[in-house]
Amino acid sequence: MRVNSTASKLDSFLQRLSQPDQFTLGVVGLGYVGLPLILRAAEAGLRTLGLDIDPAKVDDLQAGRSYIKHIGDARVQTALGQGLQATTDFARAGEADALLICVPTPLTRSREPDLSFVISTLESLLPALRPGQLVALESTTYPGTTEEELRPRIEAQGLRVGEDVFLVYSPEREDPGNPQFNTRTIPKIVGGSSAACLSAGEALYRHLVDEVVSVSSTRAAEMTKLMENIHRAVNIGLVNEMKIAADRMGLDIHEIISAAATKPFGFVAYRPGPGLGGHCIPIDPFYLTWKAREYGVHTRFIELAGEINSAMPAWVMHKISAALNDQGKPVRGSRVLVLGLAYKKNIDDLRHSPSVEILELLREQGADFAYSDPYVPVFPRLREHRFDLRHVEPTAQELARADAVVIATDHDDFDYAAIRTHARLIIDTRGRYSEPAAHIIAA
C-alpha cells in the first residue's frame, strides 16, 4: 500500500514538474546562493517564490533591485515579469511544490558547526509542509546533517520521508563573479534520502542545470561538497606556505608558480594571497574535522592547512610593519590605505575576508587606516567586525597621502599603473606587479 502511495506521490510530483508554469519552486534564503538560484528557476519557466527573513531583501526584489553587485537589476526585473514573488511570510511555503534551503552554516566561536540557521529555517517551514512536496538542503554541512537533523524533524510532523515528502541534499556550487560559469552550467550533485527522493530531486534539478550528477546518499553528497572545498583549502595552504619560504629565500613565488604551470601534467596552479575568504573554504574544513572526531579520526593534514591560511593576515601585517620600519616609520600613526575589502576580486562579498582581518590588525596597532573598494561603498554591519568607514576613491592625492598602500583584493577596477606611479610604498599581496621596484613589497 505504501509502495503504491509513494509511486502515486512521485508520479504526481513529476507530472506537475512536466508543466513548469504549474510548478512552484520556493527558495528559502535569498543571498549569494539563493538569489541566482531563484533567478535561474524563473528563466527555466518555473513559478518562483522567494522567502527570506530580511525585509530589505524582499523589498528590493519586489521593486526590481538587486542587492548583489554582480547580479544586475535587469535580471531581477525580468524574473518579476516571469512571476517571481518574494516574501517574509513563511506560512506561504505551502504554496511551493519544492523548497530549496539556502541559508548560512557558519562556525561557533569554538569553531564547531553552527546549524542554527538551518534548523530555525526548517522549523519555520514545518507548519506549512504538506504531502507531495520536495525539501532540498543546499547549505554546506557535515555528512549526516540531512538524515540526522532534517529528517527527524520532518517526520515528527507525521510526514514520512520518501513516501509523503521527498528529501534531498544538493550542495550549492556558486562562484560569485566568475564569468565562465553560472548556475545553469555548473553540474549539480544530488543525493536523496531514498530512491524516490533521488528521482524527484534529479527531475527538479534537470529543469535548472545542464547536468545532474547523482550520488548514493545525502551523506555522500554532503561529503562531496566538503571534499571540493577542502581540496582548495589544502592546496591554497600549501602555496601560502611556499610563498613564505620563497620570500625568505628572496624568490618570487608568482614567477615560480607560472614556471611550474608549464608542466602539462601533474600540476595545478594555485595562487597565494593574504588569506582565505568567502563562506565555504575557510569554514568547510572545520565541519569535516568536527564530524571526523566522532569516528575517531584526527584530520591533522586538513587542520594544518587551516592554521596556515588563518595566519596569513598576520603575516601580511608583519610585512606592512617591516616595510614601514625600513622607512623609519612606526605603524602607529601611519596612514595605510587598503585596496579591496571583498574576499576576492570583482564582487562585494565580505564574508570571512582576510582584508577585514588586516583592518582589525591595523586598528590594533594604531594605524590611521582607510579602505578603497568600489564594490563596498560603506562598510556594512558584520557580526564580528565594526568599522565606521566609507570607500575612499584611490585618486593620485589619496595614494600619495598614504604611507603604505596595501593591495589586499585585486579588483579589475583599480588602475594599477596609477597606483605604481603615485603610491610611495606598496604592499602587494596578490602578485599584481611582476617587475621589481624598490617601493613595491611582495606579501
Whether 401 is in a domain gets the answer yes
- Segment 243-261 mean pLDDT: 96
Say if residues 58 and 86 touch (Cβ distance below 8 Å): yes
Whether residues 283 and 183 fall in one domain: no
* Structural domain includes residue 236: no
Please tell me the predicted confidence (pLDDT) of residue 222.
98
Task: Establish whether 102 is a catalytic residue.
Answer: no
Identify whether residues 302 and 419 lie together within a single domain.
yes
Q: Which of 280, 320, 337, 443 does the annotation list as catalytic?
A: 280
Q: Is the pLDDT of residue 201 over 90?
A: yes
Q: Based on the fold, state whether residues 430 and 293 are members of the same structural domain.
A: yes
Are 197 and 273 in a shared domain?
A: no
Share of the chain above pLDDT 90, in %: 90
pLDDT attached to residue 70:
87
Residue 2 has pLDDT above 70, yes or no: no
Residues 37 and 137 in one domain: yes
Domain final residue pick, 221, 241, 275: 221
CA distance 419 to 433: 11
What is the overall mean pLDDT for the chain? Answer: 95
Mean pLDDT in residue range 320-327: 97
Which residues are CB-contacts of 147 (< 8 A; sequence separation ≥ 6)? 193, 218, 219
Cell matching residue 145: 546533517
Domain membership of residue 47 (yes or no) is yes
Mean pLDDT, residues 81-109 taken together: 96
Q: Is residue 238 part of a domain?
A: no
pLDDT per position as a tens digit, 270-305: 999 999 888 778 888 889 999 999 999 999 999 999
Strand partners, 273: none
3-state secondary structure the chain: CHHHHHHHHHHHHHHHHCCHHHCEEEEECCCCCHHHHHHHHHHCCCEEEEECCCHHHHHHHHCCCCCCCCCCHHHHHHHHHCCCEEECCHHHHHHCCEEEECCCCCECCCCCECCHHHHHHHHHHHHHCCCCCEEEECCCCCCCHHHHHHHHHHHCCCCCECCCEEEEECCCCCCCCCCCCCCCCCCEEEEECCHHHHHHHHHHHHCCCCCEEECCCHHHHHHHHHHHHHHHHHHHHHHHHHHHHHHHCCCCHHHHHHHHCCCCCCCCCCCCCCCCCCCCCCCHHHHHHHHHHHCCCCCHHHHHHHHHHHCHHHHHHHHHHHHHHHCCCCCCCCEEEEECCCCCCCCCCCCCCHHHHHHHHHHHCCCEEEEECCCCCECCCCCCCCCCCEECCCCHHHHHHCCEEEECCCCCCCCHHHHHHHCCCEEECCCCCCCCCCCEEEC
| pLDDT score of 236 | 95
338 contacts 355 by C-beta, under 8 angstroms: yes
Q: Is residue 144 part of a domain?
A: yes
User: Same structural domain for residues 217 and 328?
Assistant: no
- Confidence tier at 178 by pLDDT (50, 70, 90): confident
CATH number for the domain spanning 196: value is 3.40.50.720
The separation between CA 350 and the C-alpha centre of its own chain, rounded to angstroms, equals 10
Could you tell me if 432 and 330 lie in one domain? Answer: yes
| 284 and 203 within one domain | no
pLDDT tier for residue 1 given thresholds of 50, 70 and 90: very low
Of the pLDDT bands very low, low, confident and very high (cuts 50, 70, 90), residue 42 is very high
Asked whether residue 3 carries a pLDDT value surpassing 60, the answer given is: no
Same domain, 205 and 263: no
The residue ranking higher by pLDDT, 193 or 279, is 193
Report the pLDDT value the prediction gives residue 177, as an integer from 0 to 100: 79
What are the C-alpha distances in Å from 405 to residues 202, 364, 387, 388, 443?
50, 18, 19, 20, 12
Query: Nearest Cα to 392, choosing from 314, 317, 333, 336?
Result: 336
The sheet that has 426-428: what strands, in order across it? 368-372, 335-339, 404-407, 426-428, 440-442
Q: With contact defined as beta carbons under 8 Å apart, do 141 and 105 qualify?
A: yes
Report the C-alpha gap between 389 and 356 in whole angstroms: 12
| pLDDT tens-digit map of 326-369 | 999 999 999 999 999 999 999 999 989 999 999 999 999 999 99
Residue 235: inside a domain: no
pLDDT at 4: 62
**Predicted confidence (pLDDT) per residue in 133-149, tens digit:** 999 999 999 999 999 99
Q: How many domains does the chain have?
A: 2
Tally of residues, the chain: 443
Its pTM stands at 0.91
Q: Look at residue 241 and tell me if it is in a domain.
A: no
Which of 205, 221, 237 is the last residue in one of the domains?
221
Residues 269 and 196 in one domain: no
Is 267 found in the same domain as 200? no
Let me know: does 334 contact 370? Beta carbons within 8 Å. no
Q: Could you tell me the residue range of the domain that residue 347 belongs to? A: 253-442
